[in-house]
Amino acid sequence: MPDIPCSKCRRPAIILQRYSGLHLCRGHFISDFESKAKRAIRQHRWIRPGDRIGVAVSGGKDSSALLHFLVGLLGKRRDITLMALTIDEGIDGYRDLSIARRIAEDLGVEHIHASFAECFGITIDEIVRKKGDRLSCSYCGVLRRQLLNRVAKERGITRLALGFNLDDEAQSVLMNVLRGDADRLLRPASAAEGLVPRIKPFMYIPEREVALYALLHVEGFEIGRCPYAHNALRADVRNLLNDYTWRHPATRYSLVNLGERLPGAGEGGMPAVLFCERCGEPFIGECRTCRMLSEVLR
């Protein structure tokens, strides 16, 4: 079968963007990809002189690609510091800290890690043995977010960079719709007091393009999925959205645009942020971290 030429230069294409109709060669794909990520950073004013940016690196494709991109973009700037943060949730056979550490070291970035076992006194595997695996993703998500924030503050990090891609963002919007969670849909995107601001340079880039970018630039990233991921609502929403987007390629972009526009339609501002008397971390409504830990550490 003959090579399909790039829509821009006639070299062999390596990808078809169904939403744009373009076939792109390696060079034009990388240029298009990085332009989108840079545009997102400029649009949201996510990076400023003097920032200490902590990149949440799991060792998977998204976070590894993000670290590579940010090193290329910011690595030579003396006014910006990059660090890689890895959280070990305690899932046997899944989280291999050596993968994230090697990727960070290959890129010349300091690697920091923390674990549920050390900081909370329990692992996700132990939680599953006590409570079953039905809510494993809920426990993991809450504990992981708090620990990332805690470590970031301890290290003086001013921005937390997350490898969330277009698929992730669209899924999150649809999940909130399916849950009927109006508070999350209308909540302003500005960071609450005590929470290190998050930045997501890949939020307008499809997952398959992030995966291709990682394959082109990073060796040996982790490709396995969490063994508990099948329990998450996100898994169902991913399948639903993938099926629908195959017929309507712009769907993910429409959902992300909706998710960005809705906060401006709500009344009032950010809900009151309180600080937990037990752990000292900020929360809205209730400290879910301490509530969950009290359930599993009894």
Between CA 6 and CA 25 the distance in angstroms is 5
Q: Which two tokens mark 101?
A: 């550490």
Pair 160, 148: CB distance under 8 Å: yes
pLDDT at 121: 94
* Overall size of the chain counted in residues: 298
pLDDT in tens, 98-148: 999 999 999 999 999 999 999 999 999 999 999 888 888 889 999 999 999
In the chain, the percentage of residues whose pLDDT exceeds 70 is 96
Pair 225, 28: CB distance under 8 Å: no
Please state, rounded to an integer, the average pLDDT across all residues of the chain.
Answer: 91
Whether 20 shows a pLDDT value over 60: the answer reads yes
Between CA 21 and CA 18 the distance in angstroms is 5
pLDDT at 266: 59
pLDDT in tens, 266-282: 555 566 788 888 898 88
pLDDT in tens, 155-206: 999 999 999 999 999 999 999 999 898 888 887 766 677 899 999 999 999 9
Bridge partners of 284, per DSSP, are none
Ordered domains of the chain (ranges, CATH): 1-34 (no CATH), 46-271 (3.40.50.620)
The HSE-up count of residue 52 (CA atoms within 13 Å, CB side) is 12
Average of pLDDT values for 225-250? 88
What confidence category does residue 1 fall into, taking pLDDT thresholds of 50, 70 and 90?
A: very low
Provide the 10 A C-beta neighbour count for residue 176.
Answer: 18
pLDDT in tens, 134-164: 888 889 999 999 999 999 999 999 999 999 9
Closest C-alpha to 163, from 294, 29, 70, 277: 70
Q: What is the sign of the dihedral through the CA atoms of 108, 43, 145 and 195?
A: positive
pLDDT at 105: 97
